[in-house]
Chains A and B, each alone.
Chain A
Amino acid sequence: MSRTALLAVPVLFLALLFVIPVASVVWAGLSAGPDRMLGVAFSGRTWQTVGFTFLQAGLSTLVTVVLAAPAAVVLARFRFPGRGLLRALVLVPFVMPTVVVAAAFLALIGPGGLLGVDLSGSIWGLVLAHMFLNLAVVIRVLGGSLATLDPDLEQAARVLGASRWQAFRRVTWPLLMPAVRACVAIVFLFCFTSFGVVQVLGAGQLRTLEVEIYRRTVHLLDLSAAAALSVLQLLAVVAMLVVIGRGRPVPRQQAVDVARPPHGWRQRAAVGITAAATAVAVLGPLLVIAVRSVTAGGHWTLAGWQMLFTPGDSTNAVDPWSAVLASLRTSAAASALAVGVGGMAAVGLSVRGRGGWLRTVDALLLLPLGTSAVTVGLGMLLAFGRPPLDLRNTGLLIVLAQALVAMPFVVRVVTPALESFDRRLLEVAGVLGRSPAAAVRSVALPLLLPVLAVAAGFAFAVTIGEFGATVFLASPADPTLPVAIARLLSRPGQVTVAAAYAAGTVLMLVTIAVVVAVDRVRVSRAVVF
């Protein structure tokens, strides 16, 4: 199958599920007259919003990358007890539903928070929460690159007479640069379009494009404004992708696990302190969730868990097991779709000699990550909400929307592995009597299985937290865990709150289980999304 044919499927997927919905929103916005849209786009208040969106995303990215870099180095370069667990743990915040994360953060840095400062409504609260959420991106992407960076290279430079600093600046840094750029891009995109955190921690005072699109759409049903803001957001994201897309792609690197035990008390102390700080940063908010599930009214109690597991006869009651199953089912379907379509994109993209237009396709595949979930949800409702394409009540739209968000991760994970897959192995199999299909089955598939598993795991973890607000899309018949949490929180009561945190804890445990399982799969390549 030719590259074009392979890429046709993901491009079609993107066109159908992304371009058409977004175009529908713009079309709906235009129906009130283009003047109205232009008016919104060029109003001073809009530009304030755009400015603040860039400011908070830039600041969040800077702080995240700078603070997470030491953790990335320590996790990539040193062996220490609990390293595997810590590597898995840092992924958990990344995939937790923002409702839960934001609640945990308010408990820490909100009014009366455990840390004693109230940062809600301040940009620093956002920055901290964004750092917590995106720690995993830096640790995984930068760490992945560091872990495969041969320390011999730096030593070679030292032997050639370079100082430690020169060796870093002239050898290590240029080799890390693509990974740094990749994580800056991803973190920035996430912060640029982050919703739940800004909504909750912003306390209604901080306005980003994403929140403003949500408000205009959901509360005011002002489609002209929503369309104008969506277009602005899209343009900003495209501009960013173009800027980031320049320069060399992440080089292919041989896997050499360079981690070694820390050496000497200085290194041991540095590794210990960094690992401990990372663990505290990640576990702190997570522990708050777990602790709150077993407290009510200042006492330790299991009433929340009891309530969660005795849902009663109401239609609104959610049986946690069926919610877990529903979450798993939806995520599994979305992940399978994302791995299928994203895998095809990766095969198409990994063919040698990537031309200019391939880079464009590559960048376009990231677009869904940088687009408002509200826009996509609204667009899907507009595009697929009427016969003959009425998918509204099927729950399928949620699966498709989640697959759309998970696909970029799959592409990022699978492409480098495919690029470094030695196609001659398929020729060997052919010469040894296997037909092309049999060769793929008996050689390529087993060899790529670990990376496919990692991609599926990522997709799964991303979708199980219902990444972004799937606004406007009806929940499938069986509510998922995040839906269950939202329902529990709709009535006051100490036990209901504890039950909601209990559901959050269940979700957290499921996520940790998935992440740890995925992490056990040994991947021989740097994972870069």
Chain B
Amino acid sequence: MLRLRQLAVSYDQPVLKGIDLEVATGEIVCILGPSGGGKSTLLRAVAGLVPASGRVELGGRDVSRTPTHLRGVGMMFQNDLLFPHLDVAGNVGFGVRPSDPDRVEQVLALVGLAGYGSRAVDSLSGGQAQRVALARALAARPGVLLLDEPFGALDVVLKAHLVLEVQNVLREQGVTVLAVTHDRREAFTLADRVAVLREGRIVQVGAPDELWARPADTYVARLLGLSVIAGVVYRPEQLHPDPAGSWAAVVTGRTFRDGRYQVSARVGEDPVTFMTSVDEAPQVGATVALSAHGCEGT
């Protein structure tokens, strides 16, 4: 179990302003926030890679003063950061205790790379490299695994596959995970609970459906991909083109997705998103009238 109490980090300016957060054993918590919002700093503070004030407790033990290498955390970075001078097995075995000789093969099998031990790391594809990085982080049996935008460098298709795959592995192994990402889809796929980070503070924590249903404020709502019109939040399925609608929306883009179109538009200054059937989809630049139905947003 990981518990953060009033965790704060300042460089020239405060970056984290007192984070309180708990991750239960075996739970996956994902911090969601915009780029440059201090997410990586949070993970680095947990790992002891940056000086921080406040408390970090791991398994009930205060590790705030413990140097990184004795904290028992695992970490996976945006780039795989595999050691180029070691082969796959050398990388995976880097943090493994000598008393655990079968561990390398075990975790390689876990990530679907059994038999890759003697491969050079520069011969791996992007997805393979990231899986080796995961295996390396898992191999040392960390008390908590920190994932820093672990899929950020991968292409969309690969990412979609890998997120599910990793989630499976993490659940099977019952690993306690604190991840950060700026991608809400990734957060929703991966996490039991999502924590939204805004300007160095956590503004809301909850299961994905809770956040979706009841975003704490318009900031969280926009971050989750919800539309906010005149201070009222609407989910995409609540908005639809309607000649009698009261809002005039200027279409800024449309994306074909799973048999329907997801349309981005602008009502006054407010960005909105709604779904249409293929036939109804408006052209970019067109103005459509919108109305809302179903339950009201908060």
Contact = CB atoms under 8 A, between A and B. Distances in A.
Interface in B126-159: 136-137, 140, 146
A435 B77 contact: no
B156 to A, nearest CB: 24
A487 interface: no
A427 B85 contact: no
A447 B86 CA distance: 10
B160 interface: no
Contacts of B81: 422, 424-425, 428
A455 B128 CA distance: 35
B94 A431 contact: no
A433 B69 contact: yes
Contacts of A427: 44, 47, 49, 68, 75
A452 to B, nearest CB: 13
Nearest to A442: B94
A446 B90 CA distance: 13
B243 interface: no
How would you classify the secondary structure of chain A's contact residues: helix, strand, loop or mixed?
helix
Interface in B25-81: 44, 47-49, 67-70, 72-75, 77, 81
B84 interface: yes
B95 interface: yes
Contacts of B48: 430
B75 A428 contact: yes
Nearest to B47: A431
B219 interface: no
Given A446-B85, A447-B85, A430 B77 contact: no
A433 B95 contact: yes
B94 A429 contact: yes
A429 B84 CA distance: 13
A436 B69 CA distance: 8
B136 A432 contact: yes
What is the size category of the interface that chain A forms with chain B?
A: 10 to 19
Interface in A427-463: 427-436, 438-439, 442-443, 446-447
Question: Residue among B49, B67, B69, B75 with the most chain A CB within 10 A?
Answer: B69
Contact of B68 (A430, A442, A446, A447): A430
Given A422-B81, A427-B68, A447-B84, A432 B94 contact: yes
A422 B77 CA distance: 13
A438 B83 CA distance: 14
Contact of B140 (A432, A439, A446): A432
Contacts of B136: 432
Contacts of B44: 427
A439 to B, nearest CB: 8
Nearest to A524: B84
A427 B69 CA distance: 9
Contacts of A424: 77, 81
Interface string B88-111: 000000110000000000000000
Nearest to B146: A431
A431 B75 contact: yes
Contacts of A422: 81
Contact of A431 (B73, B83, B85): B73
A483 B146 CA distance: 62
A428 B77 contact: yes
A447 B85 CA distance: 6
Nearest to A449: B85
B148 to A, nearest CB: 10
B247 to A, nearest CB: 43
B85 A433 contact: no
A152 B95 CA distance: 39
A427 B83 CA distance: 12
Contacts of B67: 430, 435-436
A428 to B, nearest CB: 5
B49 A432 contact: no
Interface in B152-207: none
A433 B84 contact: no
B59 to A, nearest CB: 16
Interface string A413-429: 00000000010110111
Contact of B69 (A435, A443, A447): A435
Q: Which of A424, A431, A435, A447 neighbours the largest number of chain B CB atoms within 10 Å of its CB?
A: A431
B207 to A, nearest CB: 28
Given A427-B47, A427-B75, A447-B84, 10 more contacts: A428-B83, A430-B48, A431-B47, A431-B69, A431-B146, A432-B137, A432-B140, A434-B94, A435-B69, A438-B69
25 contacts: A424-B77, A427-B75, A428-B83, A429-B94, A430-B48, A430-B68, A431-B47, A431-B49, A431-B68, A431-B73, A431-B75, A431-B95, A431-B146, A432-B74, A432-B94, A432-B137, A433-B69, A433-B72, A433-B95, A434-B95, A436-B67, A443-B83, A446-B85, A447-B83, A447-B85
Pick the 5 closest A-B CB pairs, nearest first: A432-B95, A430-B68, A431-B75, A446-B85, A433-B95
